[in-house]
Amino acid sequence: MTGTGKDKMLGVIVWPTHIEYEGADAVLDNLTEAGVTAVATAPIVVEPTADPSTGRREPPDDGGEGLNRVVDRPLWGKHALYLKTSPSYQPDRSLYAGQKYGPPKTDDLTSRLGKTIGQFLEKAKARGLKTYLQLQVCHLPGMDSENSNRPAANDDLPLLPNGEPPRKRMVHFASIASDDIRCYFTAMVNDVLHAYPDVNGLLLDRAEQSFYTLGDAFVDFGSWARKKADEYGFDFEEMRSAADRVYRRLGSLSDDDLHRLQTPSDLLYETARLFRTEPGMATLLRFRAAIAGSYLKELKQAALSVSADKEIVPITFPPPMSLITGVDFKQYAGIADAVMIKFFTMHWPLIITYWSREVKDINPKLDESLLVRALSLIFGMEDSDFGASIADYAYPGPDRAHRAGTEAQVRKIRMAAADTGGKIPVLPSVHGYGPIEDVRRRFKIAWDTGSSGIWINRYGYLSDEKLTVLKKLTGK
C-alpha cells in the first residue's frame, strides 16, 4: 500500500447502490479511467422503497441535519431516496452459535441480488484492482430498524459516568468493551472473509469510541468497561469520578473560562492544567486506547484465523479527535496493515453544532462565538475565519464549501503519520461530497500530504467532472 508519486494507491469506496444501478462494468470503466487502483464495497444489497419506515436514506441524513445532502450520481432517477438493505451473503450461523446476538437476517433481497457484490469484486480483481470490503464494527443490527434481529441489550451500550446513556447521539454505537459485541463482530469478520475469500482485506469502520456529540467523549462507564478496567489494571473509579467532575463542571463554565481557550497556546496551557488537576482524565484517555487497541487485535486475529494474507485497515477519526476516540496510532502500527483517517469534512461543522448545543443546554448563558471558536480550536478544524454562532456551523449544502482549514487537514495527516513512526501507511479518506472547487482542494491536500495514497468516499459523489479532477490530480 505504500508508494510515491504515480505509484501511490488511489482507492474509491463504491456503495452497492451504484453497482446495482449503473452496473459493475460501467462503474469500473469510470474508475479505471480515473486511475483508481483499489476499490471497496460493503457486503449488502439494496432496493428502493417508497416507505421511509422500511428503509434508510441514501445518502444518510446524519441525524436529520443533512437532509439537504444529495449524491452526484443519480440512483433510479433520484439524488436522494430510501433504500431497503439486506446482507449480500448467506451467513454461517454456526459462527454465531451460543452468542447473545445472531447473524444478520437474510431475505428475498439477498436471494435475488446477493450475487452482484461477488461479481463486482471478481471483475475488479480481473482488472488488476485491489479489493476490500468495508464493515461497521460498532453498530449492531437491532440498534436501528436495519436487519433487526435483536436490539442491543442495555449492558452493551456505552454509559456516562452517572450510569445513563448519552443524549442525542448521531450514531448509536455499541460498547466496544462488551465481550458480546466483540464476539458478534469477530464472528462477522470470519463470516465475511469465508463468503468472499478473494478480497485483499477489510476496511473496519468505527473500531473505536464515537466522537460526534459531547456525551460520546464521556463514555464508557458501563459494566463491561468496569470489567475491562480491572483486567487491564486501570482504576475505574478514579476515571469515572474525574470524568463526572469535568462533565458537571460544564454547568459552571463562564465566558471568562472560554476567553482562556481562544488561541492554541491557551489550549496547551489549559489542557496541561486540566490533567494536573484531574489526572484521572489522562488515565481515561489511556484506558480508551487500551479498549480500542485490544478490540482491533481481536478483529485482526479473527481475520488471521481465516487467512494469513488479509489486510486489516481501521477507519479512524484524525488527530486530535483520535485521542478521545481511543486511537493510538503507534499501537495500531503493530496491529493493522494500514490506517485510514477520515476527512468527512461536512461533519466537522456538525460536530461543533452538536457539542455547542449540548453545552448550551447545560449552560445557556455562554457566549456562542466564544464557544464555537474554542471547540474549533480544540479539535483543530479551521485555520481562521471562525464562525460567530452555532448557526454558522450548519450542515453544508451540496454547493457550499466545507469549514475545514487547509493547514488543519495537513497537520492531521502529518500527526497521524508521525505517530505511526512510518511503520504502516496512513491513508487519508476524503469525502467527495461538496462543490467541485472545494472537492478539488480537499483531494489535493490529501494526495500531496499523504505519502502512500488516499481513499475517496464514495463513488456516488464522484460526478464525471470530479472523476476528471482525480485523473488530473494523480497523473494516471
Q: How far apart are the first and last CA of the chain?
A: 17
Tell me the DSSP string of 349-399: HHHHHHHHHHHHHH-TTS-HHHHHHHHHHHHT--SS---SSGGGGPPP-TT
Q: What is the distance between the alpha carbons of residues 98 and 27, in angstroms, rounded to a whole number?
A: 41
The alpha helices in 114-222, defined as continuous H runs, are 115-126, 179-195
Q: What is the distance between the alpha carbons of residues 441 and 443, in angstroms, rounded to a whole number?
A: 6
Q: What local confidence, expressed as pLDDT, does residue 64 receive?
A: 79
Q: What is the distance between the alpha carbons of residues 220 and 159, in angstroms, rounded to a whole number?
A: 5
Q: What local confidence, expressed as pLDDT, does residue 153 receive?
A: 60
Cell numbers for 201:
482485506
Residue whose C-alpha cell reads 494516471 in the numeric block: 476
Beta bridge partners of 341: 316, 428
Q: What is the distance between the alpha carbons of residues 24 and 110, in angstroms, rounded to a whole number?
A: 17
CA atoms within 13 A on the CB side of 42: 18
Q: What local confidence, expressed as pLDDT, does residue 148 receive?
A: 36
Q: What local confidence, expressed as pLDDT, does residue 240 receive?
A: 97
**Do the strands 311-316 and 201-205 form a parallel or antiparallel pair, or are they unpaired?**
parallel
Q: What local confidence, expressed as pLDDT, does residue 211 receive?
A: 87
Cell numbers for 408:
488543519
Cell numbers for 151:
436490539
Other CB atoms within 10 Å distance of the CB of residue 44: 23
Fill in the DSSP letter of residue 208.
S
Q: What is the distance between the alpha carbons of residues 456 and 447, in angstroms, rounded to a whole number?
A: 11
Q: What is the distance between the alpha carbons of residues 7 and 429, in angstroms, rounded to a whole number?
A: 17
- C-beta contacts of 382-389 below 8 A and 24+ residues apart: 382/408, 383/407, 383/408, 387/349, 387/352
Q: What is the distance between the alpha carbons of residues 374 and 387, in angstroms, rounded to a whole number?
A: 11
Check if the beta carbon of residue 373 is closer than 8 Å to that of residue 380.
Answer: no
Could you give the angle at the alpha carbon of 18 between the alpha carbons of 13 and 21, nearest 5°? Answer: 165
- B/e letters for 14-39, b = 16+ CB within 10 Å, e = fewer, are bbbbbbbbbebeebbebbbebbbbbb
Other CB atoms within 10 Å distance of the CB of residue 231: 11
How long is the chain?
Answer: 476
Which residue, among 123, 62, 112, has the nearest Cα to 87 in the 3D structure? 112
Fill in the DSSP letter of residue 3.
-
Q: Is the pTM of this model over 0.95?
A: no
Fill in the DSSP letter of residue 11.
E
pLDDT tens digits in sequence order for the chain, 476 residues long: 444 456 899 999 999 999 999 999 999 999 999 999 999 999 999 999 988 888 889 988 887 788 889 999 999 999 999 999 999 999 999 999 999 998 989 999 999 999 999 999 999 999 999 999 999 998 775 544 333 344 556 788 899 999 988 877 777 789 999 999 999 999 999 999 999 999 999 999 999 998 889 999 999 999 999 999 999 999 999 999 999 999 999 999 999 999 999 999 999 999 999 999 999 999 999 999 999 999 999 999 999 999 999 999 999 999 999 999 999 999 999 999 999 999 999 999 999 999 999 999 999 999 999 999 999 999 999 999 999 999 999 999 999 999 999 999 999 999 999 999 999 999 999 999 999 999 999 999 999 999 999 999 999 999 999 999 999 988 86
Which residue, among 222, 402, 394, 420, has the nearest Cα to 327 in the 3D structure? 420
Q: Which residues contact 363 (CB under 8 A, 6 or more apart)?
A: 250, 251, 252, 253
Q: What is the distance between the alpha carbons of residues 164 and 240, in angstroms, rounded to a whole number?
A: 13
Q: What local confidence, expressed as pLDDT, does residue 118 receive?
A: 98
Beta bridge partners of 430: 343, 456
In the chain, the domains with their CATH numbers are 5-474 (3.20.20.80)
Instruction: Classify 233 in phi/psi space as left (phi over 0), alpha (psi -120 to 50) or beta.
Output: left
CA atoms within 13 A on the CB side of 148: 12
Q: What is the distance between the alpha carbons of residues 82 and 261, in angstroms, rounded to a whole number?
A: 42
